[in-house]
């Protein structure tokens, strides 16, 4: 849902204390790249408040003409709110401060007005209509029409030209629903280019993309920069920022902490380290990206707690297997990873094991602590001691319009009922416990989940499943779209669960994450297991070799 000025602080946290001092920079700070025509954008003293919350406090942002400028910060730092101010989602008059674009003061009342000036924002949740064609989506709201009649010849011709410009070879008459997420992202950029964009804003553009699609998108951004189009990119992937950005502005607690140069010239190697960016984001050095692993030494240490044998799943529509005869084990206190490229079958396996939530089950067995169990439905899976944290928290993991305490209690209602009714006091006590123990940053447990930042939403999801008391936790991309500080907190929770003897199955597209967290790692390709590597022997090269192996 889109934030409204009256009720909904998007990606906000209270910012009523001064930020901690930031350590000296490794490289000289700069407000923006020095373009021939000066800054294309200047935002000065931007302050935005919601009832009881200061989302932005005196934020400055200067973007040079023809540069890629990254905006970094932890979840809740105010990044998305700042971009909504710039793009007119939060209209002029609802915030304090000044915006100058291409040297002139501007006061955008809505998105349409900012787009007429050449500012286009592409949100993380793509704004495409799946059942319409690529061409229809590109010119939706900006139709090639005369006297109320759409000129389809011009629409298809111009769409094809824009698709060539973004490197997408598909027919403009193709339905968007038939395209993968990576191609849909390119359609969004083609749509922006149709509006004669001069400043393109991308919010987490590669969060849902595989490595190949991410590389293509990043290269396109570099090409657009070479064509004179300035870009603002919000991303938690610091290696991507170092690869493409010229400058980076760091926000913390709703304030702009500093702006640093990533490289001195577009073709130079990045001079700014990831550790330096992290120090600015969290206000301190992170000695390690991952918590220290503590072995489980309690009852049943080393015993197999979770075993999947011969699991096979057919695609829900197409006549093909998406999971083919997969067998794996997880011991008590062990964190076991599953690595694979997009389409490898990792999520399909997890969802089908957890209550047949995806695809058509064809065969296989599950055992928990050596005992065969049934997981034909979600309640059966939960009752068997299995929990599943979905990769898509906003669609499948949360009821966004409900409160924090209701979301946490949702899977444990039988234990919170009294005489057939939910004991609200007990429900609130449980939620308050997790608010404190998981460090969920929210004013109260009665806050709607949609108002929380992504990292805090993920903590709510984890709290819900931890409260079911599972023996096995299946975590599917548990840190997707989350900043480095919140990642460490979630890693710490996962490590603590393993140290308590829980069996953790950890699915991730980020190989460094798997290498940093897992005791063993399975690899999948085309629905089949292709390898099993001990954590001590695993490298990105070894995993990638198995992930691209053809076992058919």
Tens of pLDDT, residues 75-108: 778 888 999 999 999 999 999 999 999 999 999 9
Determine the pLDDT at residue 369: 95
HSE (side-chain half, CA atoms, 13 Å) at 262: 25
Domain 299-385+471-552 has CATH 1.10.8.60: no
Residue 491's pLDDT band (cuts 50, 70, 90): very high
pTM beyond 0.85, yes or no: no
Tens of pLDDT, residues 246-303: 999 999 889 999 999 998 777 788 888 888 888 888 776 666 788 988 888 888 888 9
- Please state which CATH number belongs to domain 1-116+233-284: 3.40.50.300
Kindly state the average pLDDT of the residues 529-534.
Answer: 96
Please name which of 71, 74, 66 lies closest in space to residue 86, comparing C-alpha atoms: 71
Kindly state the average pLDDT of the residues 55-77.
Answer: 91
In angstroms, the CA 184 to CA 130 distance is 10
Domain map (residue ranges) of the chain: 1-116+233-284, 299-385+471-552, 398-469
Please name which of 243, 201, 196 lies closest in space to residue 218, comparing C-alpha atoms: 243
Tokens matching residue 99: 């915006």
What is the torsional sign of CA 430, 432, 433, 437?
A: positive
Q: CB under 8 Å to 363, separation ≥6 — which residues?
A: 310, 311, 312
Is the separation of the CB atoms in 117 and 108 below 8 Å?
Answer: yes
Per-residue DSSP letters for 276-330? Answer: HHHHHHHSS--S-SSPPP----STTTTSEEEEEEEEEEE-SSSSSEEEEEEEEEE
Q: Highest mean pLDDT range out of 180-189, 324-333, 542-551? A: 324-333
Determine the pLDDT at residue 75: 73
Answer whether 1-116+233-284 and 299-385+471-552 agree in fold.
yes
In angstroms, the CA 457 to CA 452 distance is 6
Q: Does position 493 have pLDDT exceeding 90, yes or no?
A: yes
Tens of pLDDT, residues 303-327: 999 999 999 999 998 889 999 999 9
List the end-to-end C-alpha distance of the chain, in Å, as a whole number.
Answer: 44
Higher pLDDT, 436 or 551: 436
- The DSSP element (H or E) to which 70 belongs, if any, is strand 68-72
In angstroms, the CA 224 to CA 455 distance is 31
Displacement of CA 213 from its chain's centroid (Å): 15
What is the torsional sign of CA 165, 170, 175, 179?
A: negative
Tokens matching residue 484: 């480095």
Q: Does position 528 have pLDDT exceeding 70, yes or no?
A: yes
Tens of pLDDT, residues 325-380: 999 999 999 999 999 987 889 999 999 999 999 999 999 999 999 999 999 999 99
In angstroms, the CA 156 to CA 170 distance is 12
Tokens matching residue 191: 């749509």
Q: CB under 8 Å to 92, separation ≥6 — which residues?
A: 107, 108, 109
């Amino acid at each position: 849902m889109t934030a409204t000025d009256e009720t909904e602080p998007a990606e906000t946290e209270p910012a009523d204390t001064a930020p901690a001092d930031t350590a000296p920079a490794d490289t000289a700070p700069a407000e923006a790249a020095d373009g021939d025509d000066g800054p294309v954008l200047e935002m000065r003293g931007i302050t935005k408040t919601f009832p009881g919350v200061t989302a932005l406090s005196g934020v400055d942002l200067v973007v040079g003409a023809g540069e890629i400028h990254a905006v970094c910060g932890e979840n809740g730092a105010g990044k998305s709110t700042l971009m909504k101010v710039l793009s007119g989602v939060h209209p002029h008059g609802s915030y304090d401060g000044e915006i100058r674009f291409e040297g002139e003061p501007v006061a955008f009342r809505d998105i349409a007005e900012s787009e007429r000036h050449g500012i286009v924002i592409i949100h993380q949740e793509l704004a495409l209509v799946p059942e319409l064609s690529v061409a229809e989506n590109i010119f939706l709201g900006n139709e090639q029409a005369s006297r109320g009649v759409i000129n389809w010849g011009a629409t298809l011709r111009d769409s094809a030209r824009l698709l060539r410009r973004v490197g997408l070879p598909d027919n403009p008459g193709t339905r968007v629903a038939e395209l993968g997420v990576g191609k849909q992202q390119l359609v969004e950029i083609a749509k922006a280019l149709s509006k004669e964009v001069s400043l393109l804003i991308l919010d987490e553009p590669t969060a849902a993309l595989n490595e190949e699609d991410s590389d293509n998108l990043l290269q396109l951004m570099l090409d657009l920069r070479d064509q004179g189009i300035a870009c603002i990119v919000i991303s938690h992937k610091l290696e991507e920022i170092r690869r493409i950005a010229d400058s980076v502005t760091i926000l913390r607690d709703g304030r702009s902490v500093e702006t640093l140069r990533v490289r001195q010239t577009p073709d130079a190697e990045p001079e700014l380290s990831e550790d330096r960016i992290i120090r600015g984001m969290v206000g301190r050095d992170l000695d390690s990206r991952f918590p220290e692993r503590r072995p489980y030494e309690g009852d049943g240490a080393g015993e197999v707690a979770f075993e999947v044998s011969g699991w096979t799943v057919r695609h829900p529509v197409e006549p093909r297997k998406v999971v083919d005869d997969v067998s794996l084990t997880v011991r008590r206190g062990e964190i076991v990873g599953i690595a694979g490229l997009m389409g490898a079958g990792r999520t399909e396996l997890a969802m089908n094991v957890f209550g047949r939530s995806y695809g058509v089950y064809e065969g296989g067995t599950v055992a928990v602590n050596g005992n065969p169990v049934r997981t034909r439905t979600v309640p059966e899976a939960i009752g068997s001691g299995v929990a599943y944290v979905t990769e898509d928290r906003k669609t499948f993991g949360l009821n966004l319009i409900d409160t924090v305490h209701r979301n946490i209690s949702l899977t444990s209602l039988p234990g919170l009922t009294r005489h057939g009714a939910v004991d609200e006091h007990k429900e609130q006590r449980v939620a308050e416990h997790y608010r404190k123990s998981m460090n969920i940053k929210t004013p109260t447990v009665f806050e709607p989940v949609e108002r929380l930042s992504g990292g805090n939403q993920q903590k709510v999801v984890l709290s819900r499943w931890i409260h079911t008391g599972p023996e096995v936790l299946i975590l599917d991309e548990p840190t997707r779209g989350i900043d480095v500080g919140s990642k460490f907190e979630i890693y710490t929770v996962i490590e603590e669960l393993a140290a308590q003897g829980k069996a953790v199955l950890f699915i991730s597209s980020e190989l460094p994450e798997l290498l940093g967290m897992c005791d063993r790692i399975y690899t999948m390709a085309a629905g089949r297991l292709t390898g099993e590597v001990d954590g001590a022997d695993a490298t990105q090269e070894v995993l990638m070799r198995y992930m691209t192996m053809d076992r058919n």
